[in-house]
């Protein structure tokens, strides 16, 4: 286990610019609510077109919010010029997701040179009451010398 | 382990109607491409607003597609009048998700009375070439005597 | 989601008797170090025959310790006459497992009528210093009206 | 994603010697039953001291067998002079584990330069009948330039 490299001194700007490039976070209306080294909180207002067949928040949206919060918690500790990539995540959906808005709060469990382990809790908020709806445990890889931006090659974008 | 109950004889209609009620599947443009007892295939054309910061399909969208395919593979074997709920899933993202469209193919590994285990593979297709991008292993619970529809109570919908 | 039933008032005795019946916990030398409702701590002294090929504690032993601690954390909140069964678990191995002894500390994240979600942390201790080596997130099912003991039928035991 | 390196030409000998060094596999009595590039099958005869409180094979033993089979499936494709380490695994226990012996069959899903994804199925055999009892999905890391042997430093072994 080699020593970790120095985190990007401009980590907060890097995280915010990367988040702003995420087309999907824009589509669902998620926003950054809190950032600190090794931590990231995202918030998502409820909308009918984010639901599954019974009107609960779709489990895939819950997972996307948790995965993204986890990704930026990890990225905040990575060196400049690198890019985070989710290797895998596991999420337990604890209760039906009903609420006015949803909040994913992620933190780094272990930051290694190559791999970072993160966890995230997702809650549903209604009238000021917060209910846990999901817990995630994930692994990310730090791609060194890989700018966290789209490649120029035409046709490679989604 | 009690014996499983008889699957809904109108399972295909139930699956298609349930899928049509999923606001989020409509938002991202996913469609049912194949159905058989214990199997479900979903397809999703690529769009810029489904991407993450580098232009790959967002891992949360990949997960949503796999989770939904798995849910309907499970639901196809459940008794009439019941509803499926994802308990948890684990997904490995095998390669950067770039392509013209994405296909999630799910099948039931074990269908018990209460719990169903499913797996799904997700591929990216470009110019007729298909590349594996994710594998998921998930657990669903069958809620008996629970219509797979939104409850009437005002304010409970997302 | 139906209401949970009353936990076994003799939960501590039930947990200790169940643990004592676990042949495998005896084989590896694990012991209960702490118990409280919804919590269980197990300890395991290091031994060469618990190692993998490089002399670290075998990941399967780490997982067995975490899974068992999680199982008894869950069982402590279940009604009398029921039995816990692990549905699935996911474990991240955070660091090579080297130490004089290993401690798994588990707690219940959510206790439902049918399913219980638990998490566990495993640490390695050397000279009074404790290092995190694993984190687990698991799902258990409560089998009601199922005594937590071997069935009498000959030939069914392992 | 850099290109993978050439697998160890003596992979089979490397796998068998590594397995033979695993104290824990010796303790439980597991043996290699089949090997091929990217594949590994392990077998484990049932014994009372491998059980949990109800006499089923302990879930941790099931996991250890699956994890080890997965590890050697991955190791068979790694370059000479490297060592495999499990990053994480997720296992679904599909049915109570009762039988005369247990067999874990693992294969590589994706072999990258740094990370390898494997899956494993575990079955219980009784009187020639085989029943699925578990499915695992795991991530391993290839530690390059790391001999797959105990380090010499005193006190570092388990």
Closest by Cα among B127, A135, D89 to C63? D89
Query: What share of chain B has pLDDT > 90, as a percent?
Result: 89
Q: Across the interface, do C60 and D60 touch by the CB < 8 Å criterion? A: yes
Q: Quick one: DSSP state of residue B96?
A: -
Closest chain B residue to A90, measured at CA? B90
- Whether D116 shows a pLDDT value over 50: the answer reads yes
Pairing, β A101-111 against β A129-143: unpaired
Instruction: Taking each helix axis as running N to C, give the angle between helix D11-20 and helix D59-75, from 0 to 180 degrees, rounded to the nearest 10.
Output: 150
Write the pLDDT tens digit of every residue in D29-71: 999 999 999 999 999 999 999 999 999 999 999 999 999 999 9
Sheet holding D31-36, edge to edge: C31-36, C39-45, C101-111, C115-126, C129-143, C83-93, D83-93, D129-143, D115-126, D101-111, D39-45, D31-36
Chain C: give the shortest CA distance to residue D157, in Å.
Answer: 5
Write the pLDDT tens digit of every residue in B7-45: 999 999 999 999 999 999 999 999 999 999 999 999 999
SS3 (DSSP) at D153: coil
Q: What's the pLDDT band for B4 if we cut at 50, 70, 90?
A: low
10-residue mean pLDDT series, chain C (158 residues): 77 97 98 98 98 96 98 98 97 97 98 97 97 98 91 43
Report, as an integer, the average pLDDT of A14-18.
97
The answer to whether the CB of B32 falls within 8 A of the CB of B22 is no
Exposure string (b/e) for D88-109, b if CB count within 10 Å is 16 or more? bbbbbbbbbbbbebbbbbbbbb
Exposure string (b/e) for D14-29, b if CB count within 10 Å is 16 or more? bbeebbebbbbbebbe
Chain B: give the shortest CA distance to residue A2, in Å.
Answer: 25
Question: How far, in Å, CA of C139 to CA of C120, rounded?
Answer: 12
Closest chain A residue to B66, measured at CA? A60
The answer to whether the CB of C53 falls within 8 A of the CB of D148 is yes
Closest chain D residue to B116, measured at CA? D94
Question: How far, in Å, CA of C136 to CA of A137, rounded?
Answer: 8
Q: Across the interface, do D109 and B139 touch by the CB < 8 Å criterion? A: no
Exposure string (b/e) for B56-90, b if CB count within 10 Å is 16 or more? bbbbbbbbbbbbbbbbbbbbbbbbeebbbbbbbbb
Question: How far, in Å, CA of C58 to CA of C79, rounded?
Answer: 34
Q: Is A129 exposed, middle or buried (0-12, 13-18, 19+ CB in 10 A)?
A: exposed
Question: How far, in Å, CA of B61 to CA of B50, rounded?
Answer: 7
The answer to whether the CB of A37 falls within 8 A of the CB of A73 is no
Interface pTM, i.e. ipTM: 0.93
């Amino acid at each position: 286990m080699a020593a970790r490299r120095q985190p990007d001194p401009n980590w907060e700007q890097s995280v915010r610019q990367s988040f702003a490039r995420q087309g999907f976070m824009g589509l669902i209306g998620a926003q950054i609510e809190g950032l600190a080294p090794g931590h990231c909180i995202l918030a998502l207002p409820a909308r009918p077109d984010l639901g599954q067949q019974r009107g609960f928040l779709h489990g895939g949206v819950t997972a996307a919010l948790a995965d993204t919060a986890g990704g930026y918690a990890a990225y905040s500790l990575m060196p400049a010029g690198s890019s985070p990539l989710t290797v895998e995540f596991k999420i337990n959906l604890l209760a039906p997701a009903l609420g006015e808005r949803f909040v994913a709060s992620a933190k780094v469990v272990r930051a290694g040179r190559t791999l970072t382990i993160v966890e995230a809790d997702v809650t549903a908020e209604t009238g000021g009451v917060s209910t846990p709806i999901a817990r995630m445990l994930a692994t990310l890889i730090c791609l060194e010398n890989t700018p966290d931006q789209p490649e120029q090659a035409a046709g490679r974008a989604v």
